[in-house]
Each structure stands twice: as structure tokens, then as C-alpha cells.
Amino acid sequence: MDETIYLKYPWKTEDIVTGYKYHRKSNNLYRVLAVIYLLIGIINIILGLYNVFIRSDYSYWSSIVFGTFFLLINKINLFFFAQNFKKLNYENKQVEWEINKDKIIHRMINLSESTFQWDLIQGISDTPDGFLLYPQKNMFYWLPKSEFNNEEDIAHFAFIAQDKVKNWQQLK
């Protein structure tokens, strides 16, 4: 199979946010922080509710607010991540990928073009919605599976990537 895979689609902020969600799932630090934030949020809300409603000490409302903030911190993070990408004004700009066994070419028409040799790719994560392509440790490109022409192209990309990239992982 020496065929080249071509993808062409409009850039969408929501696609990048989807990729970022999977990026966070693939990163152990984000997973540990999510548990810590959850615990901090729950403890603060429980202590705040206890002090406000049982002890009638209304100075603990801030603990409830603080706890709620920590429970919502992942949603807040996603909101600001999306806002930063919206500021770039890339929405609906044409994106093209050219993928073969030798290299990957990424183009944003009239903006940029990047060529990656497979041996320079640090890792690839296969998710239910797309592929995270890591040219550097915490920098990723998102290739939505919905933009591939067919299932054979998805399987062909996965085959090439697994063969060429050492750090391959599957996320659910």
C-alpha cells in the first residue's frame, strides 16, 4: 500500500477542542490534576455546606464558591482554550493533509505549510474521533476521522503510523 491519503476540510475550533480533550486524557499530569481538583472541590463544598447550614457560620460561603470553581475548572479550561483559538481567526480556513509512507504534509491554505518526516513524529494517539499527531511533546495536530474519505484511509493511516512511530497509543 503505497497510496497517499489526502484530507481536505474547513478548520473548526470545535475540532481542536475535541483534540485537546483527548490530549488531556492521554497526559498523566492532567489525569492526576483532574482527581486533585475533584477532591479539593468536593472537600471545600462539604466543609462550606457544613459550616453554613449546621454551624450557621456564613463566612464559609467562599469555601462553597471555591469548591465549585475546582469542580468546574476543566470546563473553564476548555472555554479559555477555545477562546484563544477563536482569536486566531482560522475558522473555516481550508486545511489539507497529504500523508504517505515517507512524510506528512500539513497545509493551511494561504497561511502555513509544514512537512514532517515520520521519524520526527514523537507520538500518535488513536482516539474514537480522530488522531492526535505529536511533532513535539505537548504540541499536537488533530486529524478528525470524520474528514477521512473512507474507513480504508483511516486503517491505512493507522497502519503507516503504527509502523513508523514508536509512541503509539489508543485512547477510549
The enclosing domain of 146 has a CATH number of 2.30.29.30
Distance between CA atoms of residues 7 and 25, nearest Å: 25
* Bridging pattern class, strands 130-136 and 103-108: unpaired
Specify the pTM.
0.84
* Bridging pattern class, strands 94-99 and 103-108: antiparallel
Helical pair 61-71 and 28-49, crossing angle rounded to 10 deg: 160
Q: What is the pLDDT of residue 110?
A: 86
Same domain, 34 and 70: yes
Domain ranges, residue 35: 25-87
Number of structural domains the chain divides into: 2
The last residue of one of the domains, among 87, 102, 125, is: 87
Is 19 contained in some domain? Answer: no
Q: Closest Cα partner for 133 from 97, 102, 108, 109?
A: 97
Main-chain dihedrals φ then ψ at residue 156, nearest 5 degrees: -65, -45
Q: Which of 5-9, 52-56, 128-132 has the lowest mean pLDDT?
A: 52-56
In the chain, the amino acid numbered 106 is H
138 pLDDT exceeds 90?
Answer: no
Same domain, 82 and 127: no
Same domain, 32 and 82: yes
Lookup: cell for 38: 475533584
The last residue of one of the domains, among 56, 87, 118, is: 87
Is 138 contained in some domain? Answer: yes
Taking only the tens place, the pLDDT of each residue in 23-49 is: 998 888 988 999 999 999 999 999 999
Main-chain dihedrals φ then ψ at residue 137, nearest 5 degrees: -55, -55
Same domain, 122 and 82: no
Is 18 contained in some domain? Answer: no
Is 108 contained in some domain? Answer: yes
* Bridging pattern class, strands 94-99 and 5-10: antiparallel
Chain centroid offset of residue 44 CA = 29
Mean pLDDT value across residues 145-169: 94
Is 17 contained in some domain? Answer: no
Same domain, 121 and 160: yes
Distance between CA atoms of residues 156 and 31, nearest Å: 31
Is 52 contained in some domain? Answer: yes
Q: Closest Cα partner for 24 from 42, 37, 12, 43?
A: 37
Continuous segment of H or E residues that includes residue 74: helix 73-87
In the chain, the amino acid numbered 134 is Y
The last residue of one of the domains, among 68, 87, 106, is: 87
Same domain, 145 and 107: yes
82 pLDDT exceeds 60?
Answer: yes
Side-chain-side CA neighbours of 57 within 13 Å: the count stands at 11
Q: Which of 46-50, 55-59, 118-122, 126-130 has the lowest mean pLDDT?
A: 55-59
Same domain, 136 and 163: yes
Measured over the CA atoms of residue 85, residue 91, residue 96 and residue 97, the dihedral's sign is positive
